[in-house]
Structure 1
Amino acid sequence: MSDTPLRHVDGPSKSSWLPAKSWHHFVAGGLGGMCGAIVTSPFDVVKTRLQSDLFKVKASTVSLAGHGAAEVVVPRPNLLWHFVETGHILRDIYRDESPRALFKGLGPTLVGVVPARSINFFTYGNGKQIIANRFNNGEENSWVHLTAAAFAGIATGTATNPIWVVKTRLQLDAHRPAAVPAGQSFFGGSITMFKKILREEGVRGFYKGLSASYLGVTEGTIQWVLYERLKVLTGGTKGKGGVQEWFGMLASAGTAKCVASLITYPHEVIRTRLRQPLVDGKMKYTGLVQTLRLVIAEEGARSLYGGLSAHLMRVIPNAAVMYSIYEAVLRMS
C-alpha cells in the first residue's frame, strides 16, 4: 500500500501527550454512533438472526404437507434473493413478534455504541496525531493511520465485549416482548439478560466472542485507512461546502465500510455463534478455530456470509450517518 500524501498534524499540549481538544473526538464519535445505531437497528436484528444457526431452520426450510416432520431446504438462488429475504424477515418480525421486536437489543446497543464509538474515535483521532508527532516527524501517512486504527480496535473490543454479548442474546430471543410495566426502564430486558448470563455462565460468559472481536480489528483498520485515503481523493470538494462537499464525505465513509465489511465479514458470523446462548445446557461453539471448522463442516463456507445483505444494508448508511456527524462536530468545535 502506497502512502497517502503527507499531512502535518498539531502536536500535543506541553502538559500532556494528548493533542489539544482531544475530548472532541470522544463526544463526536459517541453522538455519531448513537444516531447511526437508532436509524439502522432493525437491520441489526435481522443480521444477527441470519448469522445464527438457531434461526437457520426457520429461515431456510418449509414443512412438507402430509410428511409429518419432514422438511426440505429451500435453495437461495442468487445475491438478490438475500436482499428480498431481509425484507421478508423484517415483515415477519413486525407481524409475529410486534414492531418493538425490530428494536430488540437497542438498549445494550446504545449502551455499547456510545462508549464504543467514543473510545474508538477518541483513540484513533488522538492516536494518529500522537504516533505522527512521536514517530513520523509530525506527518500522517497510511502506516500512521493503520497503527492508530489497530490500537483503537483492540481498546474498543476489550472494553465493550460484555455489552455486545447481552445485545446478541436479546436479539436471538424470538419471544414476543412482554408489555413494559409503568416505570420500568427501557433497559430492563438488558438487566434481566445480564443477570441470566452471570448466573448461568459466570463472568467468562461476558467475554465470549472476544477472540473474534480481536480478529475483527482488521475491519476497523481497513475502514479507517481507506476512509482517510478516500478523503484525500475527494479533497477537491473540501471547502466548497453544501451538497458537494458532504456527498464526497458520505461516499468516502460508505465505501470504506462496504469494502472493509466484504473483506472481513466471516468474523462477524463466528463472533455471533460464540455469543449464542447455551442449547440444552451445552455450549456448541467453544473457540475461534473450532467454530470456523464446525460451521464449514456442517453448513458449508457460504454460511460464513450469512446475513451479509442485512449487514450491508445496516452498516453502509450507519457509517455515512456516523462519520458525517463526527466530522460536523469536529468542525463546529
Structure 2
Amino acid sequence: MTAPAPPQSTMTWLPAKSWQHFVAGGLGGMCGAIVTSPFDVVKTRLQSSMFAHSVDVSVSGSGAVVAKRTGGLLYNFVETAHIIRNIYVQESPLALFRGLGPTLVGVIPARSINFFTYGNGKQIIAQRFNDGRESTLVHLGAAAIAGVTTATCTNPIWVVKTRMQLSASRGQSEQYRNALDCVLRIMRHEGIRGMYKGLSASYLGVAEGTIQWVLYERLKGLNTRVEGRGPVAEWAGMLGSAGTAKCVASLITYPHEVIRTRLRQPVSPGGIVKYSGLLQTLRLVIAEEGAKALYGGLSAHLMRVVPNAAVMYSIYEGVLRWNKD
C-alpha cells in the first residue's frame, strides 16, 4: 500500500512565472537608458560642482564665449539643448554617451531587481497580509522594499558611472580609460567605502521610487476603468500614467539626486574630501550656492526620466501581457 501524497501548499513563496518581472524590467530599463543617455550626461554635469564653471558661459553661434543668460524653467530646457550641442561639437558625439556602459551594467540589473522585487513583492504582501487584495499600502510596502534592495545591490555601479561622466573635467591625463580602470582607481585610493559613496542619498531616494510606483498604480487603475477604449488609447493612457508618475515623483524628491552626485564626485587632486555626508553636503551646497543649486540639472533630468519611464513601463507591461497570451 503506497503512502498518501503529502498535501500541497496552497501558496508558494514566489508567485508563478515570477521571472517575467525580472526579464521585462531589465529589457525596459536597457531600452530607456540608451534612448535618453545624452540627457543623463547633461544632468550629471549640471548637478556637479565640478562643471559649475562650464555653465556660467555659453558658446555663441560664431564661436565667441558669452555670459550665460538667466531665465526661468523654460530657459533651463534651452540651456540643456545648448549643452548637448556643445558636448557634441567640443568633445565628440560619443561624449553624449559617456558612461553608458556602466549605466547599462547598472540599469539592467537595477531595473530587473526593482521590477522583480516589486512585481512579486506586492503579490506576496497582498496574499499574506491583505487577503490577496492589492491596495495602496500593499503597493507602498512593495515599492519601499524594492527601492532599498535595488539601491544596496547597485550603488557601486552608479559610483563608476558618475565618475566616468565627470572625468572630462579632470584633464586628459586623469580621464579613466574604461570602467575597469575607474573601479581599480577607486579601490586603490578610496577602498571599498569609495564604491558605496552616496548610498545614504540613494536610500533617501527610495521615496522617489515609492511615490512613483504608488502613483503609477493609481493612474493605471483609473485608466483601465474607462470602458470602450481601443488598444491605442489604452496604451496611450498607460504611457501617460508612467510619465506623469515619474514627473511628480522627481519634482518632489529631486534634491537627493544633486546630493548623491556631489557625494560621488572624484576626490580633489589634493586629496581633500569636500562632501563627506548627507547632511554636511546639504548644508554646504545651500551655504555656498543657495537652495536653487539643489535643483541643478532638473530640466535635463525631466527630459530624460519622463520619456525613459514611458519607454521602460511600456516594454515592461508589454512583455507581461505578451507572456499571458
Task: Output the TM-score relative to the length of structure 2.
Answer: 0.90
Is 2:207 aligned against 1:212?
no
Residues 246 and 305 in structure 2, CA contact (< 8 A), matched pair in contact too? yes
The equivalences for 1:21-32 within 5 A come to: 21-32=17-28
The equivalences for 1:168-247 within 5 A come to: 168-174=162-168, 189-237=178-226, 240-247=229-236
Aligned residue number for residue 36 of structure 2:
40
Is 2:6 aligned against 1:16?
no
Structure 2: segments with no counterpart, 5+ residues: 1-8, 60-64
The equivalences for 1:69-84 within 5 A come to: 74=68, 76-84=70-78
Equivalent residue letter for 1:244: A
Aligned residue number for residue 147 of structure 1:
141
Equivalent residue letter for 2:23: V
Partner-residue secondary structure (3-state), 2:218: helix
Partners of 1:230 and 1:45 lie apart in 2 by: 30
Cα deviation, residue 175, structure 1: 6.5
Cα deviation, residue 243, structure 1: 1.3
Aligned pair partner of 2:317 in 301, 306, 327: 327
Please give the per-residue CA displacement for 1:236-290, whole angstroms capped at 9, x wherever unaligned.
4578453111000000000000000000000000000000001121110000000
Residues 50 and 169 in structure 2, CA contact (< 8 A), matched pair in contact too? no
Cα deviation, residue 76, structure 1: 1.9
Partner-residue secondary structure (3-state), 1:17: coil
The equivalences for 1:153-172 within 5 A come to: 153-172=147-166
Is 2:54 aligned against 1:58?
yes
Cα deviation, residue 177, structure 1: 11
Equivalent residue letter for 1:314: R
Count of residues in Structure 1 that have an aligned counterpart in Structure 2: 306
Aligned residue number for residue 295 of structure 1:
285
Structure 1: segments with no counterpart, 5+ residues: 1-12, 64-70, 179-186
Partner-residue secondary structure (3-state), 1:77: coil
Task: Output the TM-score relative to the length of structure 1.
Answer: 0.88
Partners of 1:82 and 1:294 lie apart in 2 by: 24
Cα deviation, residue 23, structure 1: 0.6
Is the helix fraction higher in 1 or 2?
2
**Residues 177/300 of structure 1: CA separation in 2 closer, same or farther (3 Å cut):** closer
Aligned residue number for residue 184 of structure 1:
none
Partners of 2:287 and 2:221 lie apart in 1 by: 44
Is 2:115 aligned against 1:121?
yes
Equivalent residue letter for 1:37: A
CA RMSD for the aligned pairs? 2.2
Partner-residue secondary structure (3-state), 1:21: coil
The equivalences for 1:276-315 within 5 A come to: 276-280=265-269, 281-315=271-305
Residues 238 and 245 in structure 1, CA contact (< 8 A), matched pair in contact too? no
Is 2:260 aligned against 1:271?
yes
Aligned residue number for residue 132 of structure 1:
126
Q: What is the percentage of aligned positions where both structures have the same residue?
A: 72
